[in-house]
Amino acid sequence: CDADGNLREHGQIPLEMGLPKNKQDGQIVNAVLQIQQLADKYASPVVVENLDFGKKKEQLREEGKKYSRMLSSWAYSLFSEKLEAILSNRGIKLIKVNPAYSSLIGLVKYVRMYGLASDEAAALVMARRGMRLSERLPRSLTAYPLVNKGKHVWSAWNKLNKVIKSWDAILCRHDYYSISVSNWESLVMPQCEPFG
């Protein structure tokens, strides 16, 4: 992000799953070094999600076997350890943020705006959160009873999440990204009555 929270550059650092331990360790270090180079290039801190890995493991059953294997085999703790060590050694600040609703916010606000993949859009949300920027619902949705002015903005995202989950087309979290929606208002309006 630039100083105003706008997208500056995007991309992905692919990691191969199921490698032997020494190769997995090497690719994690290489990924962290790429992140460090980007932080140096833009003279900016690195923002990551602050995961409670114990809680994450409890939720694995809900997410499915493939997600469970990916999360377990990826060695998140090693990534976190290497990231903290390398960034600290190079004087780069590491900011950990709560990832709540980052995928949903990214989908609603940034996937189409910038042509991002869902994980890139979620990363943009977390980078903006690291800058202490708020993510309000788009104006097209704030006219409906999703927004309670006296509550935290995440309560509106929670209500929108519930509305979306009530759609027949949503069977699992990955279905969010397969729906082609050019106008969120047309889908939310008929279903937001219960939240008024």
Contact 49, 126 (CB under 8 A): yes
- Environment class of residue 100 by beta-carbon count within 10 Å: exposed (0-12), middle (13-18) or buried (19+)? middle
Residuewise pLDDT in 10s, the chain (196 residues): 888 898 999 999 988 877 888 888 899 999 999 999 999 999 999 999 887 666 655 555 555 666 665 555 456 778 888 999 999 999 999 999 998 889 888 888 888 888 888 889 999 999 999 999 988 877 666 555 555 666 777 777 877 777 777 766 666 655 655 555 455 555 555 444 444 4
Rounded to whole angstroms, the Cα distance separating 35 from 107 reads 23
Domain 1-135, what architecture?
2-Layer Sandwich (3.30)
Ranges of each domain in the chain = 1-135, 137-196
Q: What is the pLDDT of residue 62?
A: 55
